[in-house]
Chains A and B, each alone.
Chain A
Amino acid sequence: MKKLVILGAGTAGTMMLNKLHNVLDKNEWQITIVDQHETHYYQPGFLFIPFNIYTCKDVIKPKRDFFPTGVNVINSEIDKIEPKENRVLLKDGQVVGYDQLIIATGAKIKPEETEGLKEELWYKSIFDFYTVEGACALRDFFKNWEGGKLVINITEMPIKCPVAPLEFSFLADWFFTEKGIRDKVDIQFVTPLPGAFTQPKASAILGDFLEKKNIKLKTEFGIARVDAENKKIVSWEEEEIPFDCLVTIPTNMGDDAIERSGMGNEFNFIPTDKQTLKALEYENIFVIGDATDLPSSKAGSVAHFQADILLENFLSVVEGREPNEKFDGHANCFIESGFGKGILIDFNYDTEPLPGKFPLPGVGPFSLLEETKMNHYGKIMFRWMYWNFLIKGLELPIESQMSMAGKRA
């Protein structure tokens, strides 16, 4: 029996598990998946919790619901990978050998990387919304908040779902308008980037949305520390921005086990071939999703497109052929913009988000880089698709490779 080990049972790992379980010969391959957590989170849903759109129940299911029978599931933290020995050491003492390894250990927030961030004001007037705990604490805080300075701050790039901080700002504008206290809430979006988003055309258009919604934009601000006593964030150049409520997007990093294994870059992300998804330094290791160092967005849609490519390349490699499928960096993001509307962007490594139409058989077309009700329904529908199709590795009517159909260049 050959051994395939998948590290991480989040979006990418679970998807790969299901896809490979469906195609690999059960007499030939034993599949093992390792994850320390028992709960699967629908991470795109965290954004909605502070605004009472989703509850915690909407974003949580047991991981075991998505594991096919016949798979060896190990519930343990990973100590380290020893790629030269083709084995993984687990914190519970087990040693797991492999013929092929797929790393899907994801990315997580590291607020402790910024001085003063995770200290006395944490979950009192400083919150994140990239964890279920942070999102719920923020929901409770907003319940009784009477207004003041709301600062949304990106610490450093790259981050998971780079549009989420913008969505948070748009939803805050809507939420406090509905509450009748928008005039008392001063919303400021503070980013180290030179614009509202990473890519020029979308950045300009999304920047206009911020202005239209009376959200102030502060660019090129690299946060150095939090001055808790005076409730200010301070940049490396000693610029200060006061806040009453700070919503931080802390530094995102790969799993600690990657650092312990000496396999990551300065963010603990693993150097990965941007087209084939093979680990650059190891013959029998693939990497997928947020755990990679690819210059694509860290998002579920990206992991989903990568999964189709990885499946083909995995089958090629184990049959002794070259991995010929190429990932193009495709990302597809519904951006919730408040008041029951949304914006859609679709892009890849080489083509930045463009305006136009996005065709989707049976449902679409959706409008690209425009605010529509249809795009909002797309976003809402996606949670159902995620739980029922995506995570189970079933086909969705959307191509892995980006298409120019409908786009205006």
Chain B
Amino acid sequence: METVELVGKQFELDDDGHLKNQSDWNEEVAKEFAKLEGIEELNDRHWIVINFMRKVYQEKGDAPSIRRLTKESGVDTKELYALFPKGPAKKAAKIAGLPKPKGCI
């Protein structure tokens, strides 16, 4: 089992390197995961995306695609890539403490 030490605590990770137990997640953990992804500070726009992802996950059991984020989160695609470089849906899911979106099949 892969683990990572953040804020002085051990966290279990799944095969994709995402948080295994969602109950481990809190805003401090999110900030640490963001740093691992090269995002030094989470601003209000990051949090809009993170909170939207968590909301969709609770409703649907899967994190949203970039297309759904663009359509419904209030943050457009260009900005999503600026906030979460390379893979916004995957990266934001990781910081939000959610598994990798299943849509990436």
Are both chains from one complex? yes
The chain A residues found within 8 Å of chain B, CB to CB, are 156-158, 162, 192-194, 198, 200, 220, 222, 224, 235-237, 265-267, 295-297
Cα A192 to Cα B71 with chains together (Å): 19
B65 contacts A266, C-beta separation under 8 Å: yes
Interface size on B, residues (CB 8 A): 23
Enumerate chain A residues within 8 angstroms of B78, measured Cβ to Cβ: 224, 236
In chain A, what residue has the closest Cβ to B69?
A266
A297 contacts B86, C-beta separation under 8 Å: no
A162 contacts B105, C-beta separation under 8 Å: yes
Interface residues of B in 72-105 (CB under 8 A from A): 72, 77-78, 80-82, 85-88, 90, 102-105
A156 contacts B66, C-beta separation under 8 Å: yes
Enumerate chain B residues within 8 angstroms of A162, measured Cβ to Cβ: 105
B77 contacts A267, C-beta separation under 8 Å: no
B81 contacts A237, C-beta separation under 8 Å: yes
Enumerate chain B residues within 8 angstroms of A237, measured Cβ to Cβ: 81-82, 85-86
The secondary-structure label for the interface of chain A is: loop
A236 contacts B81, C-beta separation under 8 Å: yes
Query: Which single member of B80, B82, B87, B105 contacts A220 (CB below 8 Å)?
Result: B87
Enumerate chain A residues within 8 angstroms of B82, measured Cβ to Cβ: 237
In chain A, what residue has the closest Cβ to B15?
A200
Cα A236 to Cα B82 with chains together (Å): 8
Cα A267 to Cα B101 with chains together (Å): 15
In the A-B complex, list the 10 residue pairs whose CB atoms are closest, starting with the nearest: A295-B102, A236-B81, A220-B86, A266-B68, A266-B67, A157-B104, A198-B105, A237-B81, A295-B105, A266-B71
Between B67, B72, B85, the greatest number of chain A beta carbons within 10 A of the residue's beta carbon is seen for B67
Cα A192 to Cα B89 with chains together (Å): 11
A222 contacts B66, C-beta separation under 8 Å: yes
Sample of 4 more A-B contacts, CB < 8 Å, known A158-B103, A224-B78, A295-B102: A198-B105, A222-B81, A266-B71, A295-B103
In chain B, what residue has the closest Cβ to A280?
B60
Cα A220 to Cα B87 with chains together (Å): 6
Cα A295 to Cα B104 with chains together (Å): 8
Cα A85 to Cα B16 with chains together (Å): 44
The chain B residues found within 8 Å of chain A, CB to CB, are 15, 62, 64-68, 71-72, 77-78, 80-82, 85-88, 90, 102-105
Enumerate chain A residues within 8 angstroms of B87, measured Cβ to Cβ: 192, 194, 220, 222
In chain A, what residue has the closest Cβ to B82?
A237
A193 contacts B104, C-beta separation under 8 Å: yes
Q: Taking the nearest CB of chain A, how far is it from the CB of B35, in angstroms?
A: 19
Cα A61 to Cα B69 with chains together (Å): 41
Cα A224 to Cα B72 with chains together (Å): 19
In chain A, what residue has the closest Cβ to B81?
A236
Between A194, A200, A222, A297, the greatest number of chain B beta carbons within 10 A of the residue's beta carbon is seen for A222
A224 contacts B104, C-beta separation under 8 Å: no
B105 contacts A265, C-beta separation under 8 Å: no
Given A194-B87, A200-B15, A266-B68, A297 and B77 contact (CB-CB distance below 8 Å): no
Q: Taking the nearest CB of chain A, how far is it from the CB of B39, in angstroms?
A: 14
Q: Taking the nearest CB of chain A, how far is it from the CB of B42, in angstroms?
A: 19
A297 contacts B67, C-beta separation under 8 Å: no
In chain A, what residue has the closest Cβ to B88?
A222
B67 contacts A156, C-beta separation under 8 Å: yes
Cα A383 to Cα B101 with chains together (Å): 33
Given A220-B87, A222-B66, A157 and B77 contact (CB-CB distance below 8 Å): no
A297 contacts B85, C-beta separation under 8 Å: no
A158 contacts B105, C-beta separation under 8 Å: yes
Interface pairs (22), CB distance under 8 Å = A156-B67, A157-B65, A157-B104, A158-B103, A158-B104, A158-B105, A194-B87, A200-B15, A220-B86, A220-B87, A222-B77, A222-B87, A236-B80, A236-B81, A237-B81, A237-B85, A237-B86, A265-B68, A266-B67, A267-B65, A296-B105, A297-B105
